[in-house]
Amino acid sequence: MAKTACYTPTEVSTVQLRQLQIEMMVSTLRCDSSSYDFRGRYGAFMERINPLMSDNAKRLKAIVGKKGQGGFDQYLTSMSNDAQNISQQDPLYCSNAVQVIEQVASHDTKDVPTIAAQAIPSPYQVVACADKPAPAPKKKHHKQS
């Protein structure tokens, strides 16, 4: 992600939605058990968010920059690897994922970006422009006479 130093709310929302999808995919691999059918719930989750994902992919490709499909794939792989690492380190990863997937199941598709924003407040490699610290004021140079 090197398009800009900071990202618009729409760009942030785009990354949050994709990251939510990837984290639920990782959760399916990591958290599926006999007591909680994450695989079945992930299938329902994907059916719920699928109408959003085509447009999401187009917007995310534009955000990733001019690296084409390879850059897009590389970004998604990096995001997936990051989610996998977090899932191995965070003891609450599975219980948090269950809460999120259940929340998505109980809401309309149009509500999923809001749920993604709540679940992913700091998306992968993205800083919102409003969150970026203001640059320090430049010092004025005075001519000496």
Q: What is the pLDDT of residue 132?
A: 52
Q: What is the pLDDT of residue 138?
A: 53
Residue 86 CB contacts under 8 Å (≥ 6 apart), including other chains: 93
Residue type, position 66, single letter: K
Q: What is the mean pLDDT of each run of 10 residues along the chain (145 residues)?
A: 73 95 94 88 93 93 74 88 94 93 93 95 86 51 49
Q: Are 22 and 86 a contacting pair, CB within 8 Å?
A: no
- Domain boundaries, given as residue ranges, for the chain: 9-131
DSSP code of residue 91: T
Tell me how far CA of residue 33 lies from CA of 12, 29, 58, 68, in angstroms: 32, 10, 34, 37
pTM over 0.85: no
Q: How far apart are CA 13 and CA 128, in angstroms?
A: 10
